[in-house]
A = this chain, B = another copy of it.
Amino acid sequence: MVKWLDEIKWSDDGLLPVIAQESVSGDILMFAWMNRESLEMTAKIGEAVYWSRSRGKLWHKGESSGHTQKVLDMRLDCDNDVLLIKVEQQGMACHTGRHSCFYQQLQDGQWVAVDPVIKNPDEIYGKS
């Protein structure tokens, strides 16, 4: 039994929403989910390990891209049901090759991509 894991209020699906913030810039990089196993592993190895809902398996961020997230700080919210991790990001956080996943800004009733693609996704995932 690991007490700090037991204090978390997991969703009915056994998941916890996780916000990843870049420590040095304060930028929000991404949002994902962890289950108990992935959170325990995150704490153990010091790198973000999420639960991929679409693939139904553990997802060690950066396992294929090299864009790992070193976890510097972990914060739980007042309801014990949301986690904030402050990370040191290798490369880009977004699978589109952008620094952050939150690159679409609402402008006059339209979502506009305002942040640049830093690296082509085909290069990141070794398809070229």
Chain A residues near B (Cβ < 8 Å) = 2-4, 7, 17, 19, 21, 25-28, 30-31, 43, 73-80, 82, 84, 94-96, 98, 101-106, 109-111
Contact = CB atoms under 8 A, between A and B. Distances in A.
A110 B31 contact: no
Given A4-B109, A19-B31, A82-B31, A101 B77 contact: yes
Contact of A43 (B3, B78, B106): B106
A75 B126 CA distance: 29
Contacts of A101: 77-79, 82
A37 to B, nearest CB: 17
A110 B4 contact: yes
A76 B4 contact: no
A76 B110 CA distance: 11
A70 to B, nearest CB: 15
Given A43-B106, A75-B104, 19 more contacts: A2-B109, A4-B106, A4-B109, A17-B17, A17-B31, A19-B19, A26-B26, A26-B27, A31-B82, A74-B105, A74-B106, A76-B102, A76-B104, A76-B111, A77-B104, A78-B101, A78-B103, A78-B104, A80-B104
